A = this chain, B = another copy of it.
Amino acid sequence: TLQHIFKQIFKASLELQEDDHRKALLVSRKKQADDTVVEINGERVGDGQQRLIAGPCSVESYEQVDAVAAALKNQGVKFLRGGAFKPRTSPYDFQGLGEEGLKILRDVADKHGLAVISEIVNPGDIPMAVNYVDVIQIGARNMQNFELLKAAGSVDTPVLLKRGLSATIEEFMNAAEYILSKGNKNVMLCERGIRTYEKATRNTLDISAVPILKQETHLPVFVDVTHSTGRRDLLLPTAKAALAIGADGVMAEVHPDPAVALSDSAQQMDIDEFNDFMAKLEESGLYKSQKKVVKG
């Protein structure tokens, strides 16, 4: 039992040590009072100006991405998203174009002067991906794929981390901590709805998570209105709520022809709907357009 006592002392000191670590989580406002501002391709996120991220669910072709990118540029939106590696429930669903998809995103973004955000799913792909993307997205299903988090923490490329399907806010912050603890400070969080019993929406947008995350951490916080609601008709009202509650930005899906999209066809906007969405956001007074006004 002496051995037992020593073990307990060892364990207690271990816990004490862990407790110290926790008090000083790198993501915490207690550790850093000032907001983290992430620089992406010359743009700044988290500096008080609210931003939009838009693009198709999946990269399908150069033409498809190019059409969306032109619409983004036209609206003053700087961040182009698109999925090249798609984590799909069924192995028989479209799994994405892979590295070829990343190349398309890069080429199109360069043409229009946009930044590229794309999801990476395999820790081993991170070194390849940073050649193409400006922001590594880590998706909801991989929020606790700790090997992927560690790999993303080992590079400098900014990371957009989405909340897990049913992650608590505390687990979400700890997942971000995995990335920061490996040295990468350029982390942005994204609320994207949580799984509840309610089936009127795909997930339940946990809007309160935004002010909580802004209080508890110094990281920029986005709201993905597409995956949280799963309904095209709710994109505009939830985007307004997100901006009103203090999110640093909103993410939404846009596709030139949603009816034939290889994934998420029911919830993406087409270009006209996107233009209308942007116009109404501006009208509401909640979003300040970054369109350059061309003078005559």
Contact = CB atoms under 8 A, between A and B. Distances in A.
- On chain A, which size bracket covers the interface? 35 or more
Contacts of A148: 145
A262 to B, nearest CB: 7
Interface in A177-195: 177-178, 181, 194-195
B260 A18 contact: no
Nearest to A165: B166
Contacts of A207: 205, 207, 238, 241
Given A8-B260, A91-B174, A244-B243, A206 B204 contact: yes
A91 B245 contact: no
A87 B194 CA distance: 21
A288 interface: no
Interface string A142-177: 101111100000000000000011101111001001
Interface stretch (A29-37, A47-55, A100-108, A210-218): A210-218
Best-surrounded residue of A4, A88, A206 (most CB of chain B within 10 A): A206
Contacts of A170: 89, 200
A87 B144 contact: yes
Interface stretch (A71-79, A120-128, A271-279): A120-128
Contacts of A229: 208
Contact of A240 (B11, B205, B245): B245
A21 B246 CA distance: 43
Contacts of A90: 18, 21-22, 174, 177
A261 B153 CA distance: 29
A141 interface: yes
Best-surrounded residue of A22, A93, A198, A245 (most CB of chain B within 10 A): A198
B204 A208 contact: yes
Interface string A198-233: 111100111111111001000000000000110001
A93 B8 contact: no
Contacts of A146: 87-88, 91, 121, 141
B194 A204 contact: yes
A266 interface: no
Best-surrounded residue of A144, A212, A234, A286 (most CB of chain B within 10 A): A144
A210 B6 CA distance: 39
B234 A240 contact: no
Contact of A145 (B145, B169, B177, B244): B145
